[in-house]
Amino acid sequence: MSFIELKNLSKKYDKADNYSVKDFNLDIDEGEFIAFVGPSGCGKSTTLRMIAGFEDITDGDLIIDGEKVNEKAPKDRGISMVFQNYALYPHMTVYDNIAYGLKNMKVPKDEIKKKVDWAIDVLGLEEFRKRKPKNLSGGQRQRVALGRAIVKDTKTFLMDEPLSNLDAKLRVSMRNEISNLHRTLGSTTIYVTHDQVEAMTMADRIVIMKDGVVHQVGRPMELYEHPTNKFVAGFIGSPQMNFYDVSLDGDTITFKDGNKITLPKDLAKKLEDHQGEMILGIRGEDIKLDEPNLEKYKDNILEATVNNTEIMGNENNLYFDFGGAGSIARVSKYDVSDIGDRIKFIFNPEKMHFFDKDTEEAIIFT
């Protein structure tokens, strides 16, 4: 039996025309780190709030540790929650902010001190224990908010975009801290974010949502390499996957601008029942400019003019128009091109993705 079960969980607000969340199904094992991701308004935070008990469940069941908890108050669900805004008490020190919930629960003073000292040590807050929130950085405040959650004897942590108020450098640091904390505690963690990089680097499994509906659940690389539809393919990965409207005739792919490539025989065989219009997707790192690949696929060399470049340090992104669409190639830092350069490249046929033109569902073959 899974530790947390969401069975056909749905939410529809009064006077709303549509469901904010519809038929959400997910089994979560004890100790898993699950990330909910999707664009703004997709229902990820609403789902988290239903789990926490801050939103009523319209339909479906929520089961935690074998018990249905639809009607249980938030305080009785064995859950701690970390919010986007830190919600710290400005007049209290770090120590008192972390201890506040335990004091309300009438925990003995010696036990409170033991728990708070432990949290302060785990989160590296010792030198700040007597400071008030106004004298802390954003990252330090977020750690205090985490401390307030972890001192409670709960098996589950819910986190609603806890890093969105931090700058880029702090976000990277806090991602690592939260991941380490999760491993230390062995807790079950459900983490909401709109940042797919956070989800990819932190989660055991990712739930991708759009318009209140779950589109795919899987491990990070499973979603990256085997997206179930165009939305998932475009959402996961940075830069996002390149998409082209193409036509397939036998083994020949024709792009909107007239360019053509010939598919390997084994790939053409797999697609023989999918002739005509479709969408071809390929990730930037699978557009190759190096000589070995140009030689290997010399019959399918394509050309385009670079219209922008991004020098990332460890790699470069080359922007160009091709196939009737804007394109991005993610290349080695040694592949240096300037704006206006004419480049030759190939699409790695082993890494192409194909989607139905009408439904945008992935064309899956083995």
How much is the pLDDT for 184? 85
Chosen domain end from 212, 235, 258: 235
* For range 195-207, the mean pLDDT: 94
- Going by C-beta distance under 8 Å and a sequence separation of 6 or more, which residues neighbour residue 288? 294, 297, 345, 346, 347, 348
What is the CATH classification number for the domain harbouring 330?
2.40.50.140
Cα–Cα dist 329/284, whole Å: 4
Domain co-membership, 230 together with 283: no
The number of beta carbons lying within 10 Å of the beta carbon of residue 229 is 18
Domain shared by 83 and 199, yes or no: yes
45, part of any domain: yes
Is 62 in the same domain as 132? yes
Q: Is residue 364 part of a domain?
A: no
Domain assignment present for 219: yes
Domain extent, residue 89, equals: 4-235
* CA dist., res. 29 & res. 186, Å (int): 11
Residues 170 and 304 in one domain: no
Of 34-48, 133-147, 166-180, 226-240, least confident by mean pLDDT is 166-180
Domain count, the chain: 2
Dump pLDDT digits (tens) for 1-47.
589 999 999 999 998 999 999 999 999 999 999 999 999 999 999 99
Single out the residue in 235, 258, 283 at which a domain terminates.
Answer: 235
The verdict on 183 and 256 lying in the same domain is: no
CATH number, domain containing residue 46 = 3.40.50.300
Contact yes or no for 242/287 (Cβ under 8 A): yes
Domain for residue 365, yes or no? no
- Average confidence (pLDDT) over 103-113: 90
Q: Within a domain: residue 366? A: no
Q: Of 235, 264, 286, which residue sits at a domain end?
A: 235
User: Does one domain contain both 192 and 289?
Assistant: no
Residues 161 and 273 in one domain: no
Give the C-alpha separation, 136 to 125, whole Å.
Answer: 10
